[in-house]
A and B are shown apart, each in its own frame.
Chain A
């Protein structure tokens, strides 16, 4: 079932130099009551973005108009730890991000992001630090994420990133895992009956 595809993205980025950002920060549990996938972007980083009275917290980066419209989020290491809520990836996507860059991702978040067509780009710690500092200095800096070539570049710097070939194909062609699994239906039926 085709959703969207991902090839090359050129965009500005939002710096969020905090480590161990957990999925409760990305989307707090009290906003998980919806029964559809839409609208979670409004509450992305809710308690860092807004006060208890729903006033924007001025020094939080998503409230800084200089970074408006960026499609890349750059965050500290171990991004997406904690709860398995895919709503975290939906919130990131719904807000308008297509890529999250970090030096380390939690496993479940990585899978959820890929299934949501948000590309997790894992870079080295030095590259991450250079990117964060460059983006903090220049909010108009253009970053290029090239999925076919598996590279991320800005200014003179470039680094390759890893992604498994299967997921790369899915993202580039708009396939999802169910399309593939449904093609194995006969094998699965046989397995199910043999292990009843």
Chain B
């Protein structure tokens, strides 16, 4: 047994190594595997070709989210290729005996939203999914990361994945967030500081007083975007906030089993003397409401700041930087405050949980969307949608002129028909502002739900602090 001071990440990883051999990557056991329609069909084909079954169906959960319409989900999917892909998932799940939360099922939703809300995501686990935002689950104190389809096939076939252990990074945030500054701003701020590749090769633990004071939903927003700085994943040590969230969830341990689990989960923390390969510290007071101006999530500024001048960018990056601003239709040195927007997208695995919808509803209560702006609000799951209905949020959105859709990934990646037209500006609560991400030619400003809500009612990018 290892008695050296150890990080939480190492504790969880080491406890899941089935085989460690010199020169080989670790064979890492996976407790929970989430699959969806887009990155699984070729993996199931692989199983068929090899003539093997799913190793342990009780550890695998499927849903349809990336490529589903967000209107009329009770009807057959109109678009032929999308329908075929979702039908393929249905056939594969039926053939291999995998539980599927299909369209129309009360548990359907974005894979990284339903895992936690169903109590399938628990502390201390290893979790994978063929989607890079699998890092979301790390908010519960587990090792969760995104994988490719060959790796999906590996996990279906063997419940293991071959991986080299990443390095360890700890990012600590201390202090109190200003009014109007949220978890989304914390993570956009960190990425703007270390760049979109600043954590490549690392697994990140988020720590410090500011993180401890966040709700589970806010912690998920932070862990969700770990991949946007290149990290394999991000995690936060579980505490009473975590245990309170899990208690009573559909598949969480119940009664005595829950108490026993909590007793075990309390040991899931980094030892005081443990060392990290890299440590970073930030102050909550330095963080403003954030907005991105470029075409990767590292290209973000505080709303009170200006788009960097060429003189503020290293010479070697001028070509890429200019290409990015040209795509966005922006000039170096300008402010984004008061920039007109055409679309507002509130959704995605980053910010489509009930707290996000409550924040938006509270802000827009009694207000109207600005003329000429289209506002789409896409709940992360059927459960979130039903909760929003029960709390009256749905009525607030309707009165404000927002269009409430049905659950799915929607305009975050523009895979279904929810696309932002070319040249149009969209303020989005999602996670990526890549060229064409929300549709060919679409221009994305990433921001928090409350910043998106403020833009929805004013038609412009606003400093939300001035409106609270």
Contact = CB atoms under 8 A, between A and B. Distances in A.
A188 B85 CA distance: 31
A19 B232 CA distance: 20
B365 interface: no
Interface residues of A, number: 54
Contacts of A1: 49-50
B277 interface: no
Contacts of B41: 35-36
B45 interface: yes
Nearest to A181: B158
Contact of A22 (B157, B296, B319): B296
Interface in B43-57: 45-46, 49-50, 52, 55-56
Contacts of B147: 84, 108, 111
Contacts of B81: 33-34
Interface in A56-89: 76-78, 81-87, 89
A106 B226 CA distance: 13
Contacts of A36: 41-42, 45
B157 A33 contact: no
Contacts, number: 183
A174 to B, nearest CB: 14
A115 B413 CA distance: 24
B29 A47 contact: no
Interface in B199-234: 200-201, 227, 230, 232
B408 to A, nearest CB: 13
A84 B146 contact: yes
A115 B153 CA distance: 11
B422 A52 contact: yes
Interface stretch (B180-188, B343-351, B433-441): B433-441
The 10 tightest CB contacts between A and B, nearest first, are: A86-B148, A115-B150, A35-B41, A112-B148, A33-B81, A84-B146, A84-B132, A181-B158, A29-B415, A86-B149
28 contacts: A19-B317, A20-B296, A22-B434, A24-B436, A29-B413, A32-B66, A33-B81, A37-B42, A52-B441, A78-B200, A83-B432, A84-B146, A85-B39, A86-B130, A86-B148, A87-B149, A104-B200, A108-B146, A108-B148, A108-B232, A112-B150, A164-B23, A177-B154, A180-B162, A182-B158, A184-B18, A184-B27, A187-B18
Interface of A: 1, 17-20, 22, 24-25, 28-30, 32-37, 47, 52, 76-78, 81-87, 89, 104, 106-108, 111-112, 115-116, 164-166, 176-178, 180-182, 184-185, 187-188, 191-192, 195
